[in-house]
Chains A and B, each alone.
Chain A
Amino acid sequence: MKKKELWNELRTFPKDRKIRDRTKMEILQRIKTESVRQKRSRLGPMFKKVFISFVSIAVLFFTAIFLWSEVQMNQKTTPQTEDSAGQETILEEGEDEKTPEALNEEDVLRIMQQYEKTFKELYNRANEDQKLPNVQSLDEVYEQLRTVMSADLAESFTELYFREENGEVYVIAQDGATWLEEDLPFDLEKNKRYGI
């Protein structure tokens, strides 16, 4: 067989076989199914991306709100601090106002006399059995002393010179307190501990 004849024989092989219509329909249906499956598989990652973006935006949004509220709170707190500082200043000023003016010698003598008088009156009120009449507790003693002396000194005197027993208050016999000798010259000195 010559090459040309061989070539012709090859070219004239039948190629007219057709796929059955039913099979064609099935294949077309499969193509359609595959197309739907592909669309779904493409939508999956897309949905995932959208979801992640949404969550990220939400996180950023809430972070921004949180930071904004923090800033707002700080702004509100700062003037309050200033206000309280102002109050402190006012209080300090008030304290200054309450602080007595510098005492002179006459004032000191008057205060010291009142201090001695109040203590002695209370102490000397005791009966022979050293009981203070009409006084039921050390608190009453303390309150009375407190009218002329500081809280610390009043407490100290109450503990040192008085005792409470069965609802009665007794004086403790011992050396008396130190009083100012008015006839002798004295110097004035500021003493925070005993604010008489």
Chain B
Amino acid sequence: MTNEDVVTTWFHQYSDDVYNFLIYYVGSGDVEDMVQEVFIKAMKHFKHESKPKTWLFSIARNVAIDQMRKKKRERNKESKLLQEKNMSNEESPEDIYQLSETKRELYQAVQCLKKNYREVLLLRGIQELTIEETARILGWSPNKVKVTFHRAMKTLKKQMGGVK
């Protein structure tokens, strides 16, 4: 099997998972280009992975971080009027998935948390990944994942309790 065959197989198996992860991570439905970039990067830096999904998610996270930084810079350059126009064009995960009221509130609460908490809740909570998988994607120790997830849940619970 060539590298291309392997990546193509991965694409058929995991492209939708990567797509859903990116929607929640970026907070926008406009992530198809990022999915493409993830698999092009996988092709460029190909390595035989025993757990390709984890590797693809870590690439997706890096791609998303780069894109968000780029967007932030662009937004700083553009006028406020254009910002508003662009923002209104972007579809949010709440609309994409037509989330229930509770889930909308929960997602918004997650998005308000600090980056560490947000990432661990997205991966360990929403994406239902194991501690080891989450640790690999974030480049943390499993223990850090456990502790951070515990603290993030506690903070989230507090926020949700406050809302309710």
Contact = CB atoms under 8 A, between A and B. Distances in A.
Interface residues of A, number: 28
A17 B20 contact: yes
B107 A30 contact: no
B109 to A, nearest CB: 10
B2 interface: yes
A13 B126 contact: yes
B128 A9 contact: no
Interface stretch (B81-89, B98-106, B139-147): B98-106
Main secondary structure of the interface of A (DSSP, over half): helix
B66 interface: no
B108 to A, nearest CB: 13
Interface stretch (B32-40, B56-64, B130-138): B32-40
A1 interface: yes
B157 interface: yes
Given A9-B103, A31-B40, A34-B44, A23 B126 contact: no
Interface in B117-164: 121, 125-128, 153-154, 156-157, 160-161, 164
Contact of B11 (A10, A17, A31): A31
Interface in A26-53: 26-28, 30-32, 34-35, 38
B4 A31 contact: yes
A28 B8 contact: yes
A1 B127 contact: no
A118 to B, nearest CB: 109
Interface in B38-52: 39-40, 43-44
A15 B11 CA distance: 17
A15 B15 CA distance: 12
Contacts of B4: 31-32, 35
A140 B16 CA distance: 122
B23 to A, nearest CB: 6
Interface of A: 1-3, 6-7, 9-20, 23-24, 26-28, 30-32, 34-35, 38
Interface of B: 2-4, 7-8, 11, 15-17, 19-20, 23-24, 29, 32, 35-36, 39-40, 43-44, 96-97, 99, 102-103, 106-107, 121, 125-128, 153-154, 156-157, 160-161, 164
23 contacts: A6-B156, A6-B157, A9-B106, A10-B106, A11-B126, A13-B24, A13-B107, A13-B125, A17-B19, A17-B20, A17-B29, A18-B19, A19-B15, A24-B15, A26-B36, A27-B11, A31-B8, A31-B11, A34-B44, A35-B4, A35-B43, A38-B3, A38-B44
6 closest Cβ pairs, A-B complex:
A10-B125, A35-B4, A15-B20, A14-B97, A13-B126, A27-B36
